[in-house]
Structure 1
């Protein structure tokens, strides 16, 4: 998850499809792409949670149509993806890392890059996300927040997407990670697919894209775990705050009604 949402720049062609799973350095990868491609990058987690409240509904519409049942439905998903990604130089993170086949067809000139990490450490890292999104009271807490009130439903759609692609339930296991790699090798032409570990810095990424290493620019290092923890706390606090204001308002109205009755 990045630090702030991106704003599209009309006319910017999409050049890179980020195929790495969440918690494989996608936030650092997204920032690095922004620097290399000189354009905004659509990082799914960041845009869903920090951008305008209207952002989540179109993505829910796209994921709800997955998997496409025929060529016509696949084309429709591709068109919806183009609408959502218009003006971005690259796209990364969920739910797009589960829509790679559709993205590859929609953007025939884009390079597909999968960020990688050790499978077992990925499983451990994903636990923090799973714990955050499976809290029983999350749906109630987030309801007063525009956009975020739909987040639990979006997570449910993501679970269905993952089950279809990897037969993955919860808790996640290392096999899920490897199934994702197999999925990419199956749907992406070999000459358009590269695997990059962000720990390697600029070198591997620039090689994959045929770009020169930026001079005097450090490779971005964004801590996804800390960002998610901060976001979860902020959303819970905001939800509770809005509920308290709502209850207080109702209380005032009821007292006024009793007083003036």
Structure 2
């Protein structure tokens, strides 16, 4: 995950719908697509966490119209996704990978590329976070920080909306499991025409991706190798430190104000 949000370019249009789940090399994939297609890529994690708070709030509004129940919801999702992803040549990671059907409707000529890895290794990288993470504690730590304080609301909207719709089953806990991988692949094969659906492992480098896109293989340009998990881990640790520092400053300010008020009260 990068540290700078990409900016849309008015004359650019989506050519690649990145349908891979998080932790499948989505950051490297996004950078590679941006280079090959000469335009900005919308990487969900980067865009969400490095944009103004209005950005994540807008996505929450859109996601809350899922599961789609009526034409009002359908129109809200369609127009919202179009608004958020206009001006990019590619998109990858959440939330865009949960709106593949809508994106195919908006951009009928785009190719759907699902980044993949060994599914068991994928789950092993996620399981410790899912099983040991505490969103309630994290949400309190991040509460003083703009944008990041909306993380829990965004997460809950996804679980109650499109992510829950695609991957959770009645009676199951609302959280990712190993079954999410299989359900994701099954969903893609169901909704994406065979000739438009491609599976790609970033470890294979430029050649297969260039073949899918129909572009020349770059010469003397190393394929981007970025660690999604490490980047996110570093970002969240730094954010947690910022949140704790903000709480410390708040508590000290309140304590000093209380002490000063007490002294003033004695003087009068």
TM-score (ref. length: structure 1): 0.93
What is the root-mean-square deviation of aligned Cα atoms in Å? 1.8
1:169-188 equivalences in 2 (<5 Å):
169=173, 172-188=176-192
Q: CA offset at residue 167 of structure 1?
A: 2.1
Matching residue within 214, 225, 232 for 1:210: 214
What is the CA-CA distance between 1:135 and the residue it aligns to? 4.0
User: Does 2:25 correspond to 1:21?
Assistant: no
Q: Which structure 2 residue ranges, 5 or more long, are not aligned?
A: none
- Asked if the contact 2:168–2:175 (Cα under 8 Å) also holds between the matched residues in 1, the reply is no
Q: Which structure has the larger Rg over C-alpha atoms? A: 2
Distance 2:213 2:251 in 1: 54
Equivalence for 1:197? 201
Decide whether aligned partners of structure 1 residues 4 and 122 sit closer, same or farther in structure 2, where only a CA change above 3 A counts. same
Distance in 1, Cα, partners of 2:182 & 2:219: 35
Q: Distance in 1 between matches of 2:57 and 2:174?
A: 25
Q: Report the equivalent of 2:250.
A: 246
> Aligned partners of 1:136, 1:206: CA distance in 2, in Å?
43
1:128–1:225 CA contact under 8 A, matched in 2: no
Which residue pairs with 2:148 in the alignment? 148
Rounded to whole Å, the distance in 2 between the matches of 1:44 and 1:128 is: 22
Instruction: Supply the distance in 2 between the matched residues of 1:227 and 1:259 (Cα, whole angstroms).
Output: 48
The total of aligned residue pairs comes to 261
Deviation at 1:192, TM superposition (A): 1.5
1:66-106 per-residue CA deviation (whole Å, 9 max, x = no partner) reads: 12123442232111111111221111101111111111112
Gapped regions of structure 1 (runs ≥ 5): none
Structure 2 contact 44–95 (Cα < 8 Å) conserved: yes
